[in-house]
Amino acid sequence: MQVFFISIPPAVELIRTDKLRALAVTTATRQEVLPDIPTVGEFVPGYEASGWSGVGSPKSTPTEVIDKLNREINTALADPKIKAQLADLGSTPLVGSATDFGKLIADETEKWGNVIRALNIKAE
């Protein structure tokens, strides 16, 4: 048996056409695009590992510019066409404030830092 992880976007069509058998997704919740595929957390409580991307800016960016960018990005992510395209790729948009994004970054840094320390992972 071979076990490997693959990003959802390139795998969606393979899973839909039964060319790839998905056992579980690593996100905290089931993916809208693959609702019948369970999460790892359904078998291993508390398990969650997912990738994310976002838009950042230099620290010196004025607050009003950050607020405008945030509003425009959130508006785009709320557009039904964009939401549908992202869902087809297995992506779930997370809308929120710049503060919310900063908290996500801090939380992820702490979570993965704990994993690195617990497993004594060292850079090579």
Give the pLDDT confidence score for residue 108 in this predicted structure.
Answer: 92
> What is residue 39's three-state secondary structure?
strand
Please tell me which residue, 57 or 6, carries the higher pLDDT value.
Answer: 57
Give the pLDDT confidence score for residue 67 in this predicted structure.
Answer: 92
Q: Can you tell me the distance from the alpha carbon of 23 to that of 120, in angstroms, rounded to the nearest whole number? A: 29
Tokens of 65: 């510019």
pLDDT tens digits, one per residue of 24-54: 998 898 988 889 999 999 999 999 998 888 8
pLDDT tens digits, one per residue of 42-101: 999 999 998 888 888 999 999 999 999 999 999 998 999 998 888 777 777 888 888 998
Q: Can you tell me the distance from the alpha carbon of 103 to that of 118, in angstroms, rounded to the nearest whole number? A: 22
Q: Can you tell me the distance from the alpha carbon of 39 to that of 56, in angstroms, rounded to the nearest whole number? A: 29
